[in-house]
Amino acid sequence: MLLKRMLIGVLSISIAAPTVFAQSAPASNQKKPNVVFILADNVGYGDLGSYGGGELRGAPTPRSDELAKSGLRLTQYLVEPACTPSRAALMTGQYSIRNGLSLVAEPGTPNTLSSKAHTMGQLFKGAGYATAIFGKWHLGGAPQSLPGAHGFDQYYGIPPDTSWDSAAYVQMGIQTHSFGNVPDKVLYEKGPWINQQKGNGPLERVKPYTMAVRAEIDNELTDKSIAFMKEQNAAGKPFFLYLPFSMGHSPNLPSKQFAGKSRIGQYGDKMMEGDHHVGQVMDALKEMNIEDNTILVFASDNGGTGQYFMNWDRLGLGAPDMGSNGPFRGDLGEPTEGAVRTFCIIRWPGHIAPGSTSYAMFSIMDFMPTFASILGVKLPTDRAIDGVNQIDVIKGKSATGNRESLLTFIGPDLVAGRWKQWRYYFKDMARTGTGQQMVGGIYANAAPMYYPKFYNIEMDPHEDLQMTNYGWTAEPIFKVIQEYLASVKKYPNPPPSNVTNFSQPLGR
Q: How far apart are the first and last CA of the chain?
A: 38
As to burial, measured by CB atoms within 10 angstroms (0-12 exposed, 13-18 middle, 19+ buried), residue 198 is middle
Over range 370-379, report the average pLDDT. 97
- Judged by average pLDDT, the poorest of 170-179, 198-207, 306-315 is 306-315
Would you say residue 437 has pLDDT above 70?
Answer: no
Active site residue 83: yes
Percentage of the chain lying above the pLDDT 90 cut: 74
**Backbone angles phi and psi of 468, in degrees to 5:** -65, -20
At 438, is the pLDDT very low, low, confident or very high (cuts 50, 70, 90)?
low
Residues 450-475 have pLDDT tens digits of 888 999 999 999 999 998 877 788 88
- Fold classification of 2-10+408-490 is Arylsulfatase, C-terminal domain (3.30.1120)
Q: How far apart are CA 377 and CA 400, in angstroms?
A: 24
Contacts of residue 233, Cβ cutoff 8 Å, sequence gap at least 6 = 34, 239, 288, 290
Is the CATH code 3.40.1050.10 the one for domain 22-406? no
pLDDT, tens digit, 9 for 90 and up, residues 274-287: 999 999 999 999 99
Q: How many CA atoms lie within 13 A of 265 on its CB side?
A: 18
pLDDT grade for 373, boundaries at 50, 70 and 90: very high
Residue type, 419: W
Can you give the residue ranges of every domain in the chain?
2-10+408-490, 22-406
| Poorest-pLDDT segment among 102-111, 395-404, 460-469 | 102-111
What 3-state class would DSSP assign to 316?
Answer: coil
What burial letters (b/e) apply to 156-193, b meaning 16+ CB within 10 Å? bbbbbbbbbbbbbbbeebeeeeeeeeeeeeebbeebbb
The rounded mean pLDDT for the chain is 89
Helix (H, G, I), strand (E, B) or coil at 288: coil
Average pLDDT score over residue span 8-31: 41
290-307 residue pLDDT tens: 999 999 999 999 999 977
pLDDT attached to residue 30: 60
Residue 404: burial class (beta carbons within 10 Å; 0-12, 13-18, 19+)? middle
* pLDDT band of 115, cuts 50, 70, 90: very high
Pick the catalytic residue: 83, 118, 277, 344? 83
Please count the other Cβ atoms lying within 10 Å of the Cβ belonging to residue 66.
Answer: 17
Of the candidates 137, 242, 255, 122, the one whose C-alpha atom is nearest the C-alpha of residue 196 is 137
Active-site annotation holds for 138 = yes
Q: Which of 118, 138, 249, 277 is catalytic?
A: 138
